Structure 1
Amino acid sequence: MDVRLQQAHRAGLEFLGATQKFTGGVLQSDARREYLNAVPEAPTGLDERRASVARVLADSPAWAFDRFITRWVAEEVYVRALPAVESIRPTVEAWLASPEQQLEVDPDVVPPSYWENEFHLTPGGWNGHDLMGPAITELVFHYVLVPGGVGAVRTGQARKDHRATVAGAGRRDSYRRIVEFGASSGRYTFALANTYPESPITAIDLAVSSLRHGIATARARGIDTIEWLHADIERTQLPDGAADLVTMFSLLHEVPDTGAEAILAEAFRLLEPGGEFLLGEVAPYDRHPAFDAVVLDWETENRGEPYWREALGRDLVGMLERVGFTEVTSYGASGGVFPWITHAVKPTESHQDRSTCQ
């Protein structure tokens, strides 16, 4: 979409991006050095790490201002982005209009309770504004998150195509049917489409505005292999064995353990025997240095990530194995910690069949 904002709206968003870039690239780096110089051997438990950082950096201006500014940007970004998208509403609505494919909104879908949270401090959540999808993808990502980074993505890292890295971690050159959970406006969906251009994709989400934005983007790019589905990913209503790849990017940290278990069970049901599960996420806490783990954990109480601590401490590998997946591997791309890739396979025979043979 060709976004042409008035100077005041554009400058306001660019200011937030530059501010986040400064606090992440300068203030947070200074605070990290202060901590590492003071604590050469940091504790390993999360509670001990949090206490250690709080004690060592109690009087650190760099740490205090980094946290203050990060929270301020997180709040301010929607104060500026939503009026900005309203200022170009006729253009956005005309761009979203699609005579070829209209989203079928299911009025009977009941979102899980956790989905009603204002993730990332979005006012009213992902469906809190009828243009939230374009506002997030075209404005927040472009002007603030890409230059400034946030959360697990450090300053400057958002320019890297992490989604393409995860999409390419599948074992096959093409798939009969890919199902993506939590597609939103399709940033990961399009990485999948570029990686597997011959494979049809069903992209599922509850956010109506984001799905409509994804449809319009696919049309603009000439991509016709994607079906956009309004549904709850815990209960998609798709048939058993509908896919040979079920995948998602940066989703499971938004849900509690009970929700994650239901999502993984649905992924297992949707896969045909031998099908693959592929996930790109934030690495568990124990894979991060102490200071970085505390920076991440801060999101739990301060930036609209209520299940972050629960998610980054969960045994995802064990959870997948309990659902029935095998060949579970979990690793950081290029030897790092983001994106953290988890891959698993649905066995070609059920546990019941194997036990019978025994």
Structure 2
Amino acid sequence: MDVPVTQRDRAGLEFLGSLQGYTGGVLQVDAAARYAAVVPDPPLDLAGRRRSVDEALGGHGPWLFDRLLTRYVAEEIYVRALPAAEQARPEIEAWLDVPADAPGSLVLDPEQDAPAYHREGFHLTTGGWDGHDLMGVVISDLGYKYVLMPGGVGAARAGESLTDHRTQVVREAPRRDYRRILEPGCGNGRFAAVVSREFPDAQYVGVELSATQLRYARAQCVHDGHAWELIQAPAERTGLPDASVDLVAVFTLFHETPPKATEAIVAELFRVLEPGGDIVIGDIAPFDRNDAFRSVVLDWETENRGEPFMRSYLQLDLPALLKAAGFTDVQAYGLGKGDYPWIVRGHKERQR
């Protein structure tokens, strides 16, 4: 949605985007060079890397200001974006109010028993993913548009296109003739739009816990002329029939879930995938695929930027989880700088 914002609100959000770009593109680059010069042979384990960076950069101004400003931007996004959304509430509500008989569907479950991890304040969102009834617009059309796209976030660096990353991931699917594609943790539909563009003849099914994100995705679906099936459910209990999709496409979900939930989700995705089908996952590369400094930057988000499961994810053997669930031909590889997006993909064998 093109949210009408005042000049003041837009300038404030654009300032945050510029600040985010400066921290990642200037301060962090300086800190990385300093660390490389001081620690030419860094530790291999993640805990050792954290201690090493603390010791080497504990008094280094660019590093300290990079961390301070990164945290400030993460919190300030919502301080500025929520009032901007309220200013545009009539226009936003009109955009969200799509005809019930429009193509596609949205099934909400207000009585759902959401897993405990969903109550975490992901990304420092005020009140969590459903902490405000306009949070879909706040995240996608204000925070994402003005701050995160130009400034970078997490493994996506300043100047990189998050839309391009999504396109890269879905193009790693081995075939082009899929009929029914499932995305667990679909959020507000950004990856769905890419999936539909790349596979226009396939039926898209999105499963998501957040009602605000699903309402946004439903509106985006209708306005863009798609016919997505959107379901409010945990990714580990989709409610879909056995063998009911032939591709599972996942984008940046598993660094948001604890290891036990990740294991359960992978097992559920194997169940709903038909024999002969594929899974393709795009996320952040494990810590040992990043250099020491970069792995600490990512790990820092566990305690400081609303990514409570980042540390456990960075140390997770996701390919092994896929193999344990029954997937074959499991591959893991990186596509870009810092191995991001990190691809893990597998296949479900046909029954003999």
Please classify the TM superposition score into its range, dividing by the shorter chain length. over 0.9
Aligned to 1:68: 68
Aligned to 1:84: 84
1:34 and 1:233 map into 2 onto residues whose CA distance is 42
1:258 and 1:104 map into 2 onto residues whose CA distance is 26
Aligned to 2:288: 286
Report the identity percentage: 49
Aligned to 1:306: 308
1:159 and 1:267 map into 2 onto residues whose CA distance is 25
TM-score normalised by structure 1 residue count? 0.95
2:275 and 2:92 map into 1 onto residues whose CA distance is 43
Contact 2:108 2:232 in 1 (8 A): yes
| Deviation of 1:242 (Å) | 0.5
2:135 and 2:183 map into 1 onto residues whose CA distance is 20
Write out per-residue CA displacement over residues 250-302 of structure 1, whole angstroms, 9 at most, x where no aligned residue. 00011111100110011000011111111000000000000000101000000
Aligned to 1:17: 17
1:159 and 1:280 map into 2 onto residues whose CA distance is 12
2:9 and 2:138 map into 1 onto residues whose CA distance is 12
1:177 and 1:281 map into 2 onto residues whose CA distance is 22
| Deviation of 1:36 (Å) | 0.8
2:161 and 2:200 map into 1 onto residues whose CA distance is 24
Contact 2:182 2:248 in 1 (8 A): yes
Where in structure 2 are the equivalents of 1:98-113 lying within 5 Å?
Answer: 98-99=98-99, 100-101=101-102, 103-113=106-116
1:41 and 1:289 map into 2 onto residues whose CA distance is 11
1:190 and 1:174 map into 2 onto residues whose CA distance is 17
Question: Of the candidates 143, 167, 171, which is equivalent to residue 170 of structure 2?
Answer: 167
Where in structure 2 are the equivalents of 1:345-356 lying within 5 Å?
Answer: 345-349=347-351
2:98 aligned partner, one-letter code: S
Instruction: Provide the secondary structure at the position in 1 that maps to 2:107.
Output: coil
Where in structure 2 are the equivalents of 1:188-203 lying within 5 Å?
Answer: 188-203=191-206
Aligned to 1:356: none
| Deviation of 1:67 (Å) | 0.2
TM-score normalised by structure 2 residue count? 0.96
| Deviation of 1:346 (Å) | 1.1
Where in structure 2 are the equivalents of 1:321-340 lying within 5 Å?
Answer: 321-334=323-336, 336-340=338-342
Q: Does 1:178 align with 2:181?
A: yes
2:315 and 2:11 map into 1 onto residues whose CA distance is 39
Contact 2:46 2:296 in 1 (8 A): yes
Please list every run of at least 4 consecutive aligned residues from structure 1 whose deviation after the TM superposition is greater than 6 angstroms.
none
2:60 and 2:209 map into 1 onto residues whose CA distance is 42
Where in structure 2 are the equivalents of 1:214-233 lying within 5 Å?
Answer: 214-224=217-227, 226-233=228-235
Question: Of the candidates 157, 160, 173, which is equivalent to residue 157 of structure 1?
Answer: 160
Instruction: Provide the secondary structure at the position in 2 that maps to 1:183.
Output: coil
Write out per-residue CA displacement over residues 182-219 of structure 1, whole angstroms, 9 at most, x where no aligned residue. 11111111110011000001011111111111111122
**Count, aligned residues:** 349
| Deviation of 1:231 (Å) | 1.4
Contact 1:168 1:195 in 2 (8 A): yes
| Structure 1: tracts of 5 or more residues without a match | 354-358
Contact 1:145 1:158 in 2 (8 A): no
1:247 and 1:95 map into 2 onto residues whose CA distance is 28
Structure 1 residues 308 and 40, CA, compared in 2 at 3 Å: closer, same or farther?
Answer: same
Contact 1:240 1:270 in 2 (8 A): yes
| Deviation of 1:165 (Å) | 0.5
| Deviation of 1:38 (Å) | 1.2
Structure 1 residues 160 and 192, CA, compared in 2 at 3 Å: closer, same or farther?
Answer: closer
Write out per-residue CA displacement over residues 45-103 of structure 1, whole angstroms, 9 at most, x where no aligned residue. 11111111111111100000000000011111111111111110000000111113463
Q: Does 1:250 align with 2:246?
A: no
Write out per-residue CA displacement over residues 211-235 of structure 1, whole angstroms, 9 at most, x where no aligned residue. 11111112222223x1111111111
Aligned to 1:93: 93
2:187 aligned partner, one-letter code: S
2:240 and 2:23 map into 1 onto residues whose CA distance is 45
| Deviation of 1:237 (Å) | 0.9
| Deviation of 1:159 (Å) | 5.2
2:205 aligned partner, one-letter code: T
| Deviation of 1:328 (Å) | 0.4
Contact 1:328 1:343 in 2 (8 A): yes
2:205 and 2:94 map into 1 onto residues whose CA distance is 25
Q: Does 1:45 align with 2:45?
A: yes
Contact 1:147 1:159 in 2 (8 A): no
| Structure 2: tracts of 5 or more residues without a match | none
1:199 and 1:131 map into 2 onto residues whose CA distance is 30
